[in-house]
Structure 1
Amino acid sequence: MDAYEVLGPLGKGSFGSVSKIRRKEDGRVLVWKEICYGHMQEREKQLLVNEVNILQKLKHSNIVRYYDRIIDSASYKLYIIMEFCSGGDLSQLIKKCRNDRVYIEEEVIWRTLIQILSALQEIHNRKDGVILHRDIKPGNLFLDENRNIKLGDFGLAKILNINSLYAHTFVGTPYYMSPEQIQEYPYNEKSDVWSVGCLIYEMACLSPPFEATTQAILKSKIQAGRYNPLPPQYSENLTKIISMMINTDQSRRPNVDELLNTNFLAIRVKERKVQQYYSNLKQMEVDLKNREKLLIERERAVLVREQQIAQKEKEIMEKENYSQNRMNIQQQQQQQPQMMVKPVYSAEEERMRSSSENVPFQPYQMKRAYTTPLNFK
């Protein structure tokens, strides 16, 4: 928890609130989903564990990236740390266009479709088990700073293994549910394709293909599979691809690979790969420049540090030399012999000194003098 700084709330996801955070070690802006699991039922806890397990496995440019998880046992909270998408989500884009009464450009819709299908191709074709998202809707498709699509919120996702090719649980958002889901029939990854078809239709028409005031009416509309045509400014190819995805017959509905191999998508996929290639080259160039800049800064820091160390060593050497010189001087003074200095006398002083040295010493004796008092009479 101490490794992150909370910047503010962003909204709510499945089972929890979402906040914008900053990682202190490098300043990277991320998000965490704060989930209180203390009062959860076992089924909800299992869905939560399921989301974390799925997120850990997925690494794709069109899937929201998972970074870490923190469990706070004292408060019964789990924090799932993920990539931050600064562009919001598709529901916000659709709402803005609807309020402004402007349609989304067809090229933007095609680009969005290819990126969603690319993300689904990753989760539907996994060797360790097919992953169904089961809740594809505009609010779960996020946009990064370059307006790239990121599929997120895997709270309702399910992994199908070899022994379980169909799911049976009734989950998802009703407006985007496939006929087999809403009738509680077995379903597979093609239910996600149906949801994508509904989403792409909504991007073109700014409203879902199936709307109703009650669940029963919505169910009957989805089963019938009838919806209003696209606005006239959109191409026939877009109409065809949507009709292929919103096909009530699951057996005739294409899977992701079949969609990507259609003529009007295959060309765009190739173009996207070329664009992605050059984009990767540019990103590599930026990364190399950033790395070079970082290395230069590190070299400068090392040089400054070396200079500081050299200056410190110089000061220490000077102190050591000064101390050694003082010790040498003291030792020399202690080892030098005491020299007797002979005084210099004049000739007369030398004669008197030598004569005095030859006379034996006689102590001086004081004699008492007796005087007669004077009489002046």
Structure 2
Amino acid sequence: MAVNRMREDPEDVFTKQEEIGKGSFGKVYKGINKKTTDVVAIKIIDLEEAEDEIEDIQQEITILSQCDSPYVTKYHGSFLKGSNLWIIMEYLGGGSALDLLKAGSFDELAIATILREILKGLEYLHMEKKIHRDIKAANILLSDHGDVKLADFGVAGQLTNTMVKRNTFVGTPFWMAPEVIKQSAYDAKADVWSLGITAIELAKGEPPNADLHPMRVLFLIPKNNPPQLDSQYSKNFREFVGTCLHHDPSYRPSARDLLKHKFIRMAKKTSYLIEYIDRYKKYREVHRDDDENGDSSGDEIDESSHRNPIDTWKFVTERGTPNGILSDSPTIPTSKKLPTILIPALEELRLKYGADVIDNVQDILLDADKNAPEIIDKLLVQLIHKIKSVST
């Protein structure tokens, strides 16, 4: 049972051990429950530093506390110590699917097995009218025994009986569905698109267009044909990816229907994944010295290459009001908000003035952002202030 014990000192209950990762809003540590000796994961967030993300942290805790599924990481409770919020989660020692890819590629049986478990998680979430909105290999965690679970609900959304679609621009660019980028009304089928992109990521080690600037990818996804796997992969795998990646979400199957797909039905028991977990643990031991020296941590984001699952490009812009969409945030440079402000407008203008004209405008903006992002920052700040002054 998840509990909130804000007044109790978490250090009386848990022994904090080594850092094991970084979540959306803070660092994650391995911990031990002093009374039960159970191993847990402890996410610690400095609320003073994360002041602008408090609503999103509350959203993550709310979503997790409502979930009860073997395919979703379990939430055990929260504690407040000074300005630090301790979020106690299930410990999954096998690493993320992205971690496992560092040690080498997966075969198709492993990919099918991972995807089957994630589809079970999505089936549960979608039945509960929840959308994850950030499906990718980095957010798929494994236990030492091969159990596969969905993690990181920092941008998850809740549908209701009266609001069956969302129109929020959230997620990580390379995995975002076209309708999310365009801020059209969308539903759980957006997760199905992201799952298709994740399937490609699991096969190739990175999502499509990983060599491109994230903002250019956001312009390209709605207008380009959906990515595909080439002939080196099996017909069933190619068909699975193709059925997930329809521009029109009405043509995408539900998570429940995808569980019946031929590719998913070839999946093995999750114990099949243990060899990949063991391979990664050996890889990590070999590279531990490099990690500690900062030579190849894999956690640093190289803005010149844009090849990581880029957390600084994870967008959360909404709250249902223009001020929410246009408000300045110290965590995301203004130039990185360019897509959230301009893409929907450009999509509307594309219909009126034609693709060629709008494509030229996009190219000019992208070149300007690449060569002089500070100018784009200043331009957008001025636009925002002018819009606010006109609206008031």
Choose which of 63, 66, 72 in structure 1 pairs with 2:75: 66
* Cα separation, 1, equivalents of 2:227 and 2:125: 29
* Equivalent position amino acid for 1:15 in 2: F
Report the CA distance between 1:83 and its aligned residue: 0.7
1:221/1:79 Cα in 2 relative to 1: closer, same or farther (>3 Å)?
same
1:108/1:25 Cα in 2 relative to 1: closer, same or farther (>3 Å)?
same
2:35 paired with 1:25: yes
Q: How does 1:1-377 map to 2 (within 5 A)?
A: 1=10, 2-41=12-51, 44-72=53-81, 75-97=82-104, 103-126=105-128, 130-223=129-222, 224-227=224-227, 229-230=229-230, 232=232, 234-265=233-264, 267-268=265-266
TM norm structure 1: 0.65
Report the CA distance between 1:26 and its aligned residue: 1.8
TM norm structure 2: 0.63
1:170/1:17 Cα in 2 relative to 1: closer, same or farther (>3 Å)?
same
What are the Cα deviations for residues 184-237 of structure 1, in whole angstroms up to 9, with x where unaligned?
2221111111111111111112221233532442124322134353361x3100
* Equivalent position amino acid for 2:169 in 1: F
* Cα separation, 2, equivalents of 1:150 and 1:62: 4
* Cα separation, 2, equivalents of 1:165 and 1:5: 43
What are the Cα deviations for residues 289-341 of structure 1, in whole angstroms up to 9, with x where unaligned?
xxxxxxxxxxxxxxxxxxxxxxxxxxxxxxxxxxxxxxxxxxxxxxxxxxxxx
* Cα separation, 2, equivalents of 1:10 and 1:263: 36
Contact map agreement 2:236 2:262 (CA 8 A) in 1: no
* Cα separation, 2, equivalents of 1:104 and 1:263: 18
1:222/1:89 Cα in 2 relative to 1: closer, same or farther (>3 Å)?
same
* Cα separation, 2, equivalents of 1:250 and 1:226: 12
What are the Cα deviations for residues 146-202 of structure 1, in whole angstroms up to 9, with x where unaligned?
122111111111111011111112111111101111122221111111111111111
3-state SS in 1 of match to 2:186: coil
Report the CA distance between 1:261 and its aligned residue: 3.1
3-state SS in 2 of match to 1:14: coil
* Cα separation, 2, equivalents of 1:158 and 1:191: 11
1:52/1:226 Cα in 2 relative to 1: closer, same or farther (>3 Å)?
closer
Q: Quote the RMSD (CA, aligned, Å).
A: 2.2
Which blocks of at least 5 consecutive residues in structure 2 are unaligned?
Answer: 1-9, 272-392
Contact map agreement 1:212 1:218 (CA 8 A) in 2: no
Contact map agreement 2:16 2:42 (CA 8 A) in 1: no
Report the CA distance between 1:41 and its aligned residue: 4.2
1:213/1:272 Cα in 2 relative to 1: closer, same or farther (>3 Å)?
closer
Which blocks of at least 5 consecutive residues in structure 1 are unaligned?
Answer: 98-102, 276-377
Higher relative contact order (CA 8 A, sep 6+): 2
* Cα separation, 1, equivalents of 2:151 and 2:179: 23
Contact map agreement 1:94 1:203 (CA 8 A) in 2: yes
3-state SS in 2 of match to 1:62: coil
| Greater C-alpha Rg | 1
Report the CA distance between 1:111 and its aligned residue: 0.5
Report the CA distance between 1:40 and its aligned residue: 4.1
3-state SS in 2 of match to 1:81: strand
* Same amino acid, percent of matched pairs: 31
* Cα separation, 2, equivalents of 1:124 and 1:118: 10
Report the CA distance between 1:140 and its aligned residue: 0.9
Count residues with an aligned counterpart: 261
